[in-house]
Amino acid sequence: MAEIGKVKPLDVFLKEKEPSHSSREVSEEKRPLFYWTGHPFVDASLVALLLINRKNSPEELTEEDIEKAINFASKLYARKEWSSGYIHAMMLPNSGILMANPSMAKKRTPEAIAQNLRSLLEESEDPNAPICEICGRRHSRPKSVYRSDFPLVGTGGVPNYFPSAKDGFNVCSHCLFLVQFLPLVAYKVGGRVLVMHTYPYELMLKLHDEALNDVRKDFLASNARDFKRPENFLFHLLGELTRKTERDDLWANASITLYYFVNNNQGQDLQIIHVPTSVLRFIAHASREDPRGWKRIVAMGWRKRPAEEEFEKYERSYANEVYARVLAEESILPYFIDVKNRRANAKWSLLSFYCSEVLGLDKEALEFIKDVGDRIVETLEKLPDNQLSRRVRELEKAEKLYQFEAFFVNLEKLRQRLGIEKPLMTFDEFATVLTSYGEDLNVSWRTVKHLLLFRVYEKLHDRLMKASEEAEEVEENKEVEIFGMGVEE
């Protein structure tokens, strides 16, 4: 048996394992000054610090970087257009830290604001105080925090706003320090403030970069290119970002939530808009793979269709039904086709991506419907133009299930008259067409109808438009004949 060595006493063993005092000091020095917290306002404020110093992560920030950010912000906040016109009016009413309270106008200087910010970082912790409700790393400051110092947290006059009717918000001095930089990266949209919280955080840096660039250029808060709707602005930014980065991994598990709010003495109001991950992937794919098609789809979302040169004006000013339905996780499949002009608005590849990624349609089922669409086209293309248009109109006008079924029955009879040997569909395939999307039969067949019309328009658009023009000429000639009857010479 091997000889067992001498066993050391426990206290000696633990002492040997303990890190030395110097090593503990090194580890303390390596700790970041700030961390991502998951709180939208604090994280956006941390983004401001990173963008000011052109850094990518909190671990890169140094004390010199923090001092640079303090000086940058305090010079802006001392200006009237920032203090009373923006911070006091929209975000932190009567802020004592940023001296936005109108009564502080004479004392408001960059030096005074900078000292207030430094004082927050220098505050000592009370070990008996509750843990910060935002970061969970430090003890909250003993002084109560209200909406004048942190957006949307209520006032001391309304104690029931806070849990257990406590007086104020439990937040540490570091998180409170960070949130003072929120005005630098927030966007002013339609009279409110817009903050975008994202995962991964890299995406947050990219989406708020424009806000800080506007501040550097104009010394004013960003007006988001005069967009009036937060969702319109977001989708516009996503399109630009996608084409610029060309990175699929950025969107693989991305999530974005918009916080659109106002916080002033007249009231507090917040609208939260969450963008599903599947929608983000679709928008990224559409903007990169078929930007013209996606633009046509979006244009269908306004009651009055904008001309090409009017698109940007509409996008900046008006709510869009396509955006609204996408955010509500409702189908936008009808917008992929333009029934009036009998045109597919996008490529089949974009339609396929939307159906599989957003609607959850099985890819095999989608390929089957595409194949059925090709069989329909095979039949219809043998008809003269006037009959072709009438047959397609049967599918367009099908608003009831029996009308949809009748279209296929009539088309099968047509195939027999035309001498096409292979049947349009078997019984089992017909049942699949009716139930290939979901268990709700009414939803299923309408989805298939839109997919089939897309395929027909994609393949036969030119002939269908020619037939429509000829039909209009015939109608005009009939009107001339009717008005010409009974006229005496």
Q: Is the pLDDT of residue 481 over 50?
A: no
Output the pLDDT for position 99. Answer: 95
Output the pLDDT for position 247. Answer: 78
Per-residue exposure over 115-127, b if at least 16 CB sit within 10 Å of its own CB, e if not? ebbeebbebeeee
Q: Is the pLDDT of residue 13 over 70?
A: no
Residue 197 contacts residue 205 (beta carbons within 8 Å): no
Output the pLDDT for position 480. Answer: 42
Q: Is the pLDDT of residue 21 over 80?
A: no
Output the pLDDT for position 484. Answer: 46
What mean pLDDT is predicted for residues 394-407? 91
DSSP class per residue in 91-102:
ISTT-TTTT-SG
Residue 166 confidence class, pLDDT cut points 50, 70, 90: low
H or E stretch at 379:
helix 363-380
Q: Is the pLDDT of residue 344 over 90?
A: yes
Token pair listed for 259: 């916080």
Output the pLDDT for position 167. Answer: 67
CA proximity to 448, closest of 430, 463, 460, 427? 430
Distance CA 338, CA 341 (A): 6
Q: What is the pLDDT of residues 228-280, one digit of tens each?
A: 999 999 999 999 999 888 777 888 889 999 999 999 888 889 999 999 999 99
Output the pLDDT for position 442. Answer: 55
DSSP class per residue in 387-409:
HHHHHHHHHHT--SHHHHHHHHH
Q: What is the pTM of this model?
A: 0.84
Distance CA 146, CA 226 (A): 31
Q: Is the pLDDT of residue 56 over 60?
A: yes
Q: What's the maximum distance between 2 C-alpha atoms anywhere in the chain?
A: 134
Residue 336 contacts residue 454 (beta carbons within 8 Å): yes
Q: Is the pLDDT of residue 65 over 50?
A: yes
Distance CA 228, CA 191 (A): 8
Q: In this structure, what are the phi and psi dihedrals at residue 262, rounded to the nearest 5 degrees?
A: -140, 140
Residue of 462 and 3 predicted with greater confidence: 462
Distance CA 298, CA 279 (A): 14
Output the pLDDT for position 427. Answer: 87
Distance CA 152, CA 150 (A): 7
Q: What is the three-class DSSP state of 195? A: strand
Q: In this structure, what are the phi and psi dihedrals at residue 268, rounded to the nearest 5 degrees?
A: -130, 135
Token pair listed for 112: 């005074």
Classify residue 355 as exposed, middle or buried by CB count within 10 Å of its CB (0-12, 13-18, 19+).
buried
Q: What is the pLDDT of residues 78-120, one digit of tens each?
A: 999 999 889 999 999 999 999 998 889 899 999 999 999 999 9
Residue 287 confidence class, pLDDT cut points 50, 70, 90: very high
**Which stretches of 53-100 are DSSP H helices?**
63-77, 80-82
What mean pLDDT is predicted for residues 274-300? 94
Output the pLDDT for position 161. Answer: 58
Give the start-to-end residue ranges of the domains of the chain: 30-182, 186-330, 337-469
Whose tokens are 């009564």? That residue is 103
Output the pLDDT for position 170. Answer: 87
Output the pLDDT for position 440. Answer: 60
Q: Is the pLDDT of residue 154 over 90?
A: no
Interhelix angle for 363-380 vs 385-396, to 10°?
150
Q: What is the pLDDT of residues 175-230, one digit of tens each?
A: 999 999 999 999 999 999 999 999 999 999 999 999 999 999 999 999 999 999 99
Q: What is the pLDDT of residues 352-378, one digit of tens each?
A: 999 999 988 888 888 989 999 999 999
Q: In this structure, what are the phi and psi dihedrals at residue 20, rounded to the nearest 5 degrees?
A: -70, 165
Residue 165 confidence class, pLDDT cut points 50, 70, 90: low
Q: What is the pLDDT of residues 406-446, one digit of tens each?
A: 999 999 999 999 988 888 888 888 887 776 665 565 568 88
Distance CA 91, CA 124 (A): 27
Q: Is the pLDDT of residue 457 over 90?
A: yes
